[in-house]
Amino acid sequence: MRGERRKLDSLALLPASAHGDAEPCRAALVEGGAALLEHIIAQDLGALWHQSLWADGCWEGLPLRVREELLAARRSAAANYLAQRNALKYIDQLFETQGISYVVIKGAHIREYVYPDPALRPASDIDILIAPADRRRVARTLLDAGYRVSVGPKNISHEATFTRGSVDLDLHWNILRPGRTRIDMTASLIERRQRGDYGWVLADRDTLFLLLVHPAFAKYVCSPHMGLLRVADFFLWIRRREIDWPPVLALLDAAGLKTAAWFMLSGFRMLAQPPQAPIVDDWIETVRPRGLREAYLRQWLLRDLPSRWLHRRLLVQAGLTLPLHDHLGDAFHALRGWYRSRKHRLRDARLLLGHDYSL
């Protein structure tokens, strides 16, 4: 079953990993039938498939049902993108007026730079990173602008969601729960930000760094939480951006997360097509853990344990995410961060929303 799912995942990723050649996509879709089409739609890859098949003239030969579902996915993604793009323009003007330093991260940033059309990459929300010291001012600015806030006690140490209309804005003041990284990363990520067409975005080295560490802890790498869109983001990023690996490696080393990057790269490697495989192989060698830890973590990938034990979250957190830190001291640092985040939930909520707030 695990091998069948990986094969289905690899086929679903063809438009992102096959260098834009639509013929393998068309052949896979015909051969894979309803199961592959259902998987493509479920993983929000329908718009990307539509673009690939339409642009290269493989569209008319497809069954009507396939064309209808892919076209519906493309239209839905376009509507979602338009609403989010307008929201980003508004946020940029609002924050610039208030003198708030911010940076757009994750899918809403990546899609603007490596997808053939940014509207091909659906995003459930817009992720924005700010300095921890600015969180109260930013929250007040958003609430005054008509946003509603949703606070999750488990994540209030580093993020909260603000909503206006149909658009959710995930506000982050740390890329992960505090303690996950050996040193604070937020200040340097914001310091290196670059001006894009629609706002401030991460530098390229920081984007790849985030692609290699955030899903390891937030999505458990190969679990259903990961989703194939994040894998497509990675394949398209390394295919269409000029990668300078040593600065990324330096960031991983400073954060104490080379092992997490190795785990992510190993997961990507299982789904990679020949064009990406040599690049990923080279990077894997620079971050590979040694000895028993490598053998132990590899079993989590080969046996797909994050998926099998997803309902036992504490087991996954203790058995997988703690060993993803480079050293024992880094793991203890993460445990202390976890304890403090639970202990100080009310304090963190009030740092964001004021002293009148109660969980």
Q: Is 253 exposed, middle or buried (0-12, 13-18, 19+ CB in 10 A)?
A: middle
pLDDT per residue as tens digits for the range 74-95 = 999 999 999 999 999 999 999 9
- pLDDT digit string (tens) for 27-68? 888 888 899 999 999 999 999 999 989 876 778 778 889 999
What is the rounded CA–CA span in Å between residue 236 and residue 248?
17
Distance between terminal CA atoms of the chain? 43
Assess contact for 301 and 266: CB atoms under 8 A. yes
Confidence (pLDDT) at 346: 93
Q: What pLDDT, on a 0 to 100 scale, did the predictor assign at position 1?
A: 47
Token reading at 183: 């040193």
How far apart CA 238 and CA 78 sit, in angstroms, is 24
Q: Which residues contact 256 (CB under 8 A, 6 or more apart)?
A: 181, 182, 325, 326, 327, 330, 333
Are the CB atoms for 258 and 245 separated by under 8 Å? no
The answer to whether residues 130 and 172 touch, using CB atoms and an 8 Å cutoff, is yes
Query: pLDDT band for position 2 (50/70/90)?
Result: low
Q: How confident is the model at residue 222 (pLDDT cuts 50, 70, 90)?
A: low
Q: Is the pLDDT of residue 263 over 50?
A: yes
What is the chain's mean pLDDT, rounded? 92
Share of the chain above pLDDT 90, in %: 74
| 128-164 confidence digits (pLDDT tens) | 999 999 999 999 999 999 999 999 888 999 999 999 9
Chain segment 297-329, per-residue pLDDT in tens = 999 998 888 888 878 888 888 899 999 999 999
**Which residues does 115 contact at the CB level (< 8 Å), separation at least 6?**
48, 121, 236
Question: What is the DSSP annotation of 38-66?
Answer: HHHHHTT-HHHHHHHHHHTT-STTS-HHH
Q: Which residues of 178-201 are buried (b: 16+ CB within 10 A; e: fewer)?
A: bbbbbeebbeebbeebeebebbbb
Number of continuous H segments (helices) and E segments (strands) in the chain? 18, 7
Mean pLDDT, rounded, for 95-123: 96
Cα-based distances in Å from 330 to 73, 208, 259, 272: 42, 21, 11, 30
Q: Can you give the pTM of this predicted structure?
A: 0.94
Whether 242 shows a pLDDT value over 50: the answer reads yes
pLDDT at 180 over 50: yes
* pLDDT for the residue numbered 277: 80
> Does the pLDDT of residue 3 top 80, yes or no?
no
Structure tokens at 69: 């579902």
Q: What is the pLDDT of residue 220?
A: 65
Buried/exposed code over 128-161 (b: 16+ C-beta within 10 A; e: otherwise): bbbbbebbeebbebbeeeebebebeeebbbbbbb
In angstroms, rounded to a whole number, what is the distance separating the alpha carbons of residues 283 and 182?
21
pLDDT digits (tens, 9 = 90+) for 190-200: 999 999 988 99
Quick: pLDDT tens for 264-301: 999 999 888 777 788 899 999 999 999 999 999 999 99
